[in-house]
Amino acid sequence: MPILKVEAVTKRFGGLEALRDVTFSLYDGQIKALIGPNGAGKTTLFNLMSGMDRPTAGHIYFGGKDIGRLAPHQASRLGVGRTFQHSKVFDDLSVLDNVKVGRHAKSTAGLLSAFFTLPRHRRDERSISEHAYHALRRVGLEAKAEEPAGGLPMGERHVLEIARALATEPRVLLLDEPAAGLNNEETDQLAESVRRIRDQGITVLLVEHDMGFVMDISDEVVVLDYGRKIAEGPPLMIQNDEEVIRAYLGEDLN
């Protein structure tokens, strides 16, 4: 049974159709990529999966439950983690505090515990710290824990977003252009991180323009064009799909 299933999803913004009748599935332990030219509807789909927006028609099932109409925090609590194409790091918080926010739903200390630093608050804070450090170690950012997040270079900002999402203990991780702004070496490190994350039992769906990265890392690729799914399959098959090549108008898929 697929962990995430997009079923006949259509999304319209006024008269503009961003997604039309898109269907595909994501299986446990997969790394799957979502590619397509700009404006193909990739981020829109991410937004629907993470509760930021609602499909006009169709359903999104996560572990058998329709999550298409949930609020973002509900989707997150069910186990959908995500990062953003345009960095949404909390700039003036430290790297560590950024990740600590990711532990929000996994801890419970409320207002009174916080006001009076009751034992529950202290217990929570210890566990939050441990998990946050753990998440930073998973992406190799622990050395910068105390630095202000706003000072990180572009690539590391995205890595921080990954750590933050990992802290929520997601079952599915949605990565929106994680390799943007990375050099070759950093891209390789990122690929390594993503594989490690998958090996730890987290299913990954990523949007990416770096075709080398996509073809290298993905088990399967879904291609969107003008809001429609035009192909789905293993990287080798996608690279030789005529419709895909036509959609990319000669862009080098290798």
Partner 1 sequence: MVAFLRRHVAFLAFAVVMMGLPFFTSNTYYLSVLAFTATRLMTSLGLNLLMGQAGQISLGHAAFVGMGAYGSAILTTRFGMNPWLAMVVAAVVAAVVAGIIGIPTTKLKGHYLAMATLGFGEIVLILLIQVKSITKGTDGITGIPSLAIGNLVFTQYNPRAMHLLLWGVALLMLRMSLNLADSRVGRALKGLHRAEVAATSLGVDATFHKVQAFMISAVFASIAGSFTAHYVQYISPGSFTLTFSVLLVTGVVIGGLGSIWGAVWGTLVMMILPEYLKQYEDATNLVFGILVIVIMIFLPGGLVSLGSALGKLRTRVGGRDRRAADTSDPGSLEGNARRPGGAA
Q: Which region among 60-68, 115-123, 137-145, 178-186 touches partner 1 (by CB under 8 A)?
A: 115-123
Please, which residues have CB within 8 angstroms of residue 183's CB and are 6 or more apart in sequence?
Answer: 155
**133 lies in the site for partner 1, by CB under 8 A:** no
Question: Residue 12's beta-bridge partner residues?
Answer: 17
Instruction: Give dist(CA 134, CA 169) in Å, integer.
Output: 11
Is residue 25 at the binding interface for partner 1, with CB under 8 A as the rule? Answer: no
Among 27, 28, 39, 105, binds partner 1 (CB under 8 A): 105
Could you tell me which residues come within 8 angstroms of residue 185 by beta carbon, excluding any fewer than 6 positions away?
Answer: none
Three-class DSSP category at 209: coil
Applying CB under 8 A, does 114 fall inside the site for partner 1?
yes
Q: Closer CB to partner 1, residue 5 or residue 103?
A: 103
Q: Is 154 in the site for partner 1 (CB under 8 A)?
A: no
Distance in angstroms (rounded) separating the CA atoms of residues 152 and 156 = 6
Size of the site for partner 1 (CB under 8 A): 45
Q: Which residue has the tokens 């090996």?
A: 199
Whether the CB-CB separation of 99 and 149 falls below 8 Å is answered with no
- Give CA–CA dist 51/53, Å, rounded: 5
Stretch that binds partner 1, among 5-13, 22-30, 49-57, 60-68 (CB under 8 A): 49-57
244: helix, strand or coil: helix
Which amino acid appears at position 210 of this protein? Answer: D
Q: Which of 2, 39, 63, 72 touches partner 1 (CB under 8 A)?
A: 72
Question: Which of 150/181 has CB closer to partner 1?
Answer: 150
Please say which residue, 74 or 184, places its beta carbon nearer to partner 1: 74
Binding residues for partner 1, rule: CB under 8 A, are: 50-52, 71-73, 75-77, 81-82, 84, 88-93, 97, 100-107, 109-111, 113-117, 121, 124-125, 128, 150, 161, 164-165, 167-168
